[in-house]
């Protein structure tokens, strides 16, 4: 275990600087690989931006067509709008699924359980195993519904709960790969336990990328080739540190400590 890994969890809280530095070094050392790994998602994100630029939700025309669509009035304008909304929804779903698969691949690379080869194949990790694909969709639906239910009380509890559930799919996949499959709600419970005391760490980590995202936008998406892998590696690294390198008691005995 290297010095950065030892520093990653200190005093029970995540050392964000060490975690990001380790992720950055991994990205720098294998940058061409990660460009190819994340290329499908980056291309789809460009497509989403292009499609979304074709409509202006603030314009009177959009509001008119959208209202007519909700009322079931079909004409060329509402049909075009419906098709555009379907495309955007489809792209969102595909991007989300591929991103989860790339997070899985990043976790394996950080753990030295995969080699830096065949990046295009690893880009579609989520499609390589039907169980990964189905479980990601089901888990996404369950956690979204739970988050919405909490948000009905107040917005803040919904946001907090979304951080509690963020590791559920990673835990579910780890259990599956270890030959000890668990249920969806059990994975969600274990995620809540794992994130106890670390939700603020995760929030601060996510917040630390805002500047990068702004620069990404100012560069017309060119910086995506660095920002997207960097962010996903950092979030994957966050999970690895909690699941693999924390003391068992810190994880409430969710997993046996891995060496």
Angle made by CA atoms 116, 191, 254, in degrees to the nearest 5: 85
Q: What is the pLDDT of residue 15?
A: 83
pLDDT at 73: 83
What predicted TM-score, i.e. pTM, was given to this entire model? 0.84
Q: What is the 3-state secondary structure (H, E, C) of the chain?
A: CCHHHHHHEECCEECHHHHHHHHHHHHHHCHHHHHHHHHHHHHHHHHHHHHHCCCCCCCHHHHHHHHHHHCCCCCHHHHHHHHHHHHHHHHHHHHHHHHHHHHHHHHHHHCCCCCCCCHHHHHCHHHHCHHHHHHHHHHHHHHHHHHHHHHCCCHHHHHHHHHHCCCHHHHHHHHHHCCCCCCHHHHHHHHHHHHCCCHHHHHHHHHCCHHHHHHHHHCCCCCHHHHHHHHHHHHHHHHHHHHHCCCHHHHCCCCCCCC
Per-residue pLDDT of the chain (259 residues; tens, 9 = 90+): 444 444 456 555 678 899 999 999 999 999 999 999 999 999 999 999 988 888 888 888 888 888 888 888 888 888 888 999 999 999 999 999 999 999 999 999 999 999 999 999 999 999 888 889 999 999 999 999 988 888 877 777 778 888 999 999 999 999 999 999 999 999 999 999 999 989 999 999 999 999 999 999 899 889 999 999 999 999 999 999 998 764 444 444 444 444 3
What pLDDT is stored for residue 9 in this prediction? 60
The pLDDT assigned to 259 comes to 33
């Amino acid at each position: 275990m290297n010095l950065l890994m030892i520093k990653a969890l200190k005093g029970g809280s995540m050392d964000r600087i060490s975690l990001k530095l380790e992720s950055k070094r991994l990205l720098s050392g294998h940058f061409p690989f990660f460009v190819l790994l994340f290329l499908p998602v980056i291309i789809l994100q460009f497509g989403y931006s292009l499609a979304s630029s074709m409509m202006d939700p603030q314009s009177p025309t959009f509001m008119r067509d959208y209202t007519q669509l909700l009322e079931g009035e079909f004409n060329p304008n509402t049909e075009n709008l419906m098709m555009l909304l379907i495309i955007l929804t489809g792209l969102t779903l595909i991007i989300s699924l591929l991103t989860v698969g790339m997070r899985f691949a990043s976790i394996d690379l950080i753990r030295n359980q995969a080699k830096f080869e065949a990046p295009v194949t690893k880009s579609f990790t989520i499609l390589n195993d039907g169980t990964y694909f189905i479980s990601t969709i089901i888990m996404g639906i369950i956690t979204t519904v739970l988050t919405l239910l909490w948000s009905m009380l107040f917005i803040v509890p919904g946001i907090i709960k979304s951080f509690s559930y963020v590791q559920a799919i990673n835990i579910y996949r780890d259990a599956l790969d270890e030959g000890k499959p668990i249920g969806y709600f059990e994975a969600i419970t274990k995620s809540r336990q794992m994130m106890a005391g670390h939700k603020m760490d995760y929030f601060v980590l996510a917040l630390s990328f805002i500047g990068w995202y702004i620069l990404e936008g100012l560069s017309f998406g060119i910086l995506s080739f660095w920002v997207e892998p960097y962010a996903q590696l950092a979030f994957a690294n966050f999970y690895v540190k909690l699941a693999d390198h924390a003391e068992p008691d810190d994880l409430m005995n969710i997993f046996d400590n891995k060496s």
